[in-house]
Chains A and B, each alone.
Chain A
Amino acid sequence: MADIRIENLRKQFGSFVAVEDSSFTIHDGEFLALLGPSGCGKTTTLRMIAGLELPTSGKIYLDGEDVTFNRASARDIAFVFQLFALYPHMNVRKNIGFPLLSQRMPKAEIRKRVEETARLLQIGHILNRSVSGLAGGDRQRVALGRAIVRRPKCFLMDEPLGTLDAEFREVMVHELRELHNRIHATTVYVTHDQHEAMAMADKIAVMNHGVIEQFGTPQEIYSKPATMYVADFIGSPPMNFMRFISGLQRGARSVSLEGVDVSVPMVHQDLAETELALGVRPEHIRFSDTSPLRGAVYGSEYLGTNQVVAIETSSGVIKARVPANRNFRIGETVGLEFNPAKLSLFDCKSGRAVASALYSEVGHG
């Protein structure tokens, strides 16, 4: 296993920039999720690491070795494709053994390794079946088997759960993480699904328009989003933004929202008057009859253990996640209170978070 270092990686297709000067490091044994909407450059990044696409500029280091222009076959990596790409003219055993065959490994050894891998993935009973008749989950396991059988330096996975139905996807998320815990393989996992990324990854890189917006642990990304894009992309419902116009001074501990003072984590930078947004996660909102910040209930969504209530305020509609034990009438006026330690401030023009006590430890990608 190995670490992967990406330096100023860039990919252009004609005049379209698919990936813009990205740099990050995936440490040995880490599970990184590249998360973003379709067309954000995450798959292109993965394909460049795999050697299926050559970068326009930048460097890729695998285990300290510069592999930027090496052939895919010379990189000693494994790739799991979205549609699995199991060879339809071979059975399960041959599919899993195919990477070993290229290394001219003796037949008996291949047999042993394939059976070992099949045991690990619990697919020993289907080794002699044709791949075309397999169910989605078994295809997935065979594709994983073909990836791990060679014990490569790292695993690259391109939305491998994208085609599975929701119920089974959860099972596979669990299995994939279990597998990772067992074999500790450096893994890069591309997905557009934040739940998959949050549930499996040690680190997440959120991408948008070819740019890595934030690189960090799931906790960092969720609670200290570096940009408004990340704050909006992660979490469901996403972070609420309450826009207002104001300047900021270093050391400030509150902002004025429609004439109401709202406490925020201590601000660590000066900012001239501009449009700002107060970012509040739905679960950091509480109802308080005494709060001067008022709004009218607009609708509510019952989710069993809790409910998401939409409230119309003078700064727009915001959503609060609150316990399910209270009934709201539409139009009812409520007072709102925010958890002051968890609030983010964003500069709307640049979209970036304002430095504050909450963010003092965040590492930007």
Chain B
Amino acid sequence: MSSVTSAHSVVEPSPTSKRIAGAIVMLYALITLIPLAWIFLTSIKSPPDSISYPPKVVFTPTLEGYCNLLTTRTRQTPEYIASLPAPTSTCDEVTRKRNMVIAGPSNFLPRFANSLVIAFGSTFLAVSLGTLAAYGFSRFRVPLAEDLLFFILSTRMMPPIAVAIPIYLMYRELGLSDTALGMILLYTAVNVSLAVWLLKGFINEIPREYEEAAMIDGYTRLQAFWKVVLPQATTGIAATAIFCLIFAWNEYAFAALLTSGEAQTAPPFIPTIIGEGGQDWPAVAAGTTIFLIPILVFTILLRKQLLRGITFGAVRK
């Protein structure tokens, strides 16, 4: 298409406006990515480099932050360190340079694993329950459906932390404090309202003729739901799962209040690194960098479904 015809097109933006739009998007991406880039760069700086002023842009990268994140260390005399056999790993090496030896693994990996279990577990539960509830609201004449839906939504109307104290007391009675199960149930309860509302919209868009056709083809309603409705709801389920996962993954307040040991998640754990032996910013940045990876991977994996979800309903099926 020549530039003359495209200048007259009503649907195709002109090359100039495309370039301007592109520049704006690039600028916005740059602004939002700078903090992330800074966190990553800090994670590979040495502790003195990380707090130098003016900030260093050019520096020698080191894995010290990651070593400090993953290990606990004790201070030793230079003579003792000199008497040790040669270092067996990079971490040994950087630790000994600071007159310290590795005493053992830190709590980061177990905390990170807690985060994975709790976030993915609660997402799975919230999306499963949400899909079933949304299907019910979408397809059946539920008595007081409007009121029930409003009630479900109303659980999101005040900040979750407003109910933190009652939940803390309840959990203590029930023995759910500081357990992964307790956290999964809590995040599921918070997310299920979002899941019901989001998924109801998606399921409403699926014509009921599909299930009716399947039921006439000899399937029960449950089979029809499983074989015909679910495959078409994948877009909505993916989008809902990402929203639920992001909430559960990033949640700090409940986690800080209700977990302290066994079931502690990464968000309340990472700040505790600051306190251990001075302000170890590279270790904090390393924890944050690793913490960002699962969400990044999950979102990239579901990118296609998510984009389809955003443009959902724009095209007549």
Chain A residues close to B by CB (< 8 Å): 50-52, 71-73, 75, 77-79, 81-83, 85, 87-89, 98-99, 102-103, 146, 150
Interface 0/1 of B168-195, CB less than 8 Å to A = 0000000000000000000000000000
Show 12 residue pairs from A and B whose CB-CB distance is below 8 angstroms, ordered by the A residue: A73-B217, A77-B216, A79-B216, A82-B209, A85-B209, A98-B214, A99-B217, A102-B217, A102-B218, A102-B219, A102-B223, A146-B213
> Contact between A85 and B210 (Cβ–Cβ < 8 Å)?
yes
Tell me, in angstroms, the Cα distance from A72 to B208 when the chains sit together.
Answer: 14
Q: Which residues of B contact A78 (CB under 8 A)?
A: 216
- Given known A83-B207, A87-B210, contact A52–B215 (CB-CB < 8 A): yes
Q: Please name the residue on chain B nearest to A104 by beta carbon.
A: B218
Q: Which residues of B contact A50 (CB under 8 A)?
A: 212, 216
Interface range for B = 10 to 19
Q: Tell me if B99 counts as interface (CB < 8 A to partner A).
A: no
Q: Please name the residue on chain B nearest to A50 by beta carbon.
A: B216
Q: Chain B nearest CB: distance from A53 CB in Å?
A: 10
Q: Which residues of B contact A89 (CB under 8 A)?
A: 231-232
Q: Is the interface of A mostly helix, strand, loop or mixed?
A: loop
> Contact between B215 and A73 (Cβ–Cβ < 8 Å)?
yes
Q: Please name the residue on chain A nearest to B217 by beta carbon.
A: A99
Q: Which residues of A contact B212 (CB under 8 A)?
A: 50, 52, 72, 79, 81, 85
> Contact between B220 and A73 (Cβ–Cβ < 8 Å)?
yes
A-B pairs, 8 with minimum CB distance: A102-B218, A85-B209, A99-B217, A85-B213, A89-B231, A72-B215, A79-B216, A81-B209
> Contact between A73 and B218 (Cβ–Cβ < 8 Å)?
yes
> Contact between A88 and B209 (Cβ–Cβ < 8 Å)?
no
Q: Chain A nearest CB: distance from B315 CB in Å?
A: 11
Q: Which residues of A contact B209 (CB under 8 A)?
A: 81-83, 85
Q: Which residues of A contact B215 (CB under 8 A)?
A: 51-52, 71-73
Tell me, in angstroms, the Cα distance from A103 to B214 when the chains sit together.
Answer: 12
Q: Which residues of B contact A52 (CB under 8 A)?
A: 212, 215-216
Tell me, in angstroms, the Cα distance from A205 to B281 when the chains sit together.
Answer: 82
Q: Which residues of B contact A72 (CB under 8 A)?
A: 212, 215-216
- Given known A52-B212, A79-B212, contact A87–B219 (CB-CB < 8 A): no
Indicate which residue in A73, A83, A87, A103 contacts B216 across the interface (CB closer than 8 Å).
Answer: A73
Q: Please name the residue on chain A nearest to B212 by beta carbon.
A: A52
Q: Which residues of A contact B317 (CB under 8 A)?
A: 88
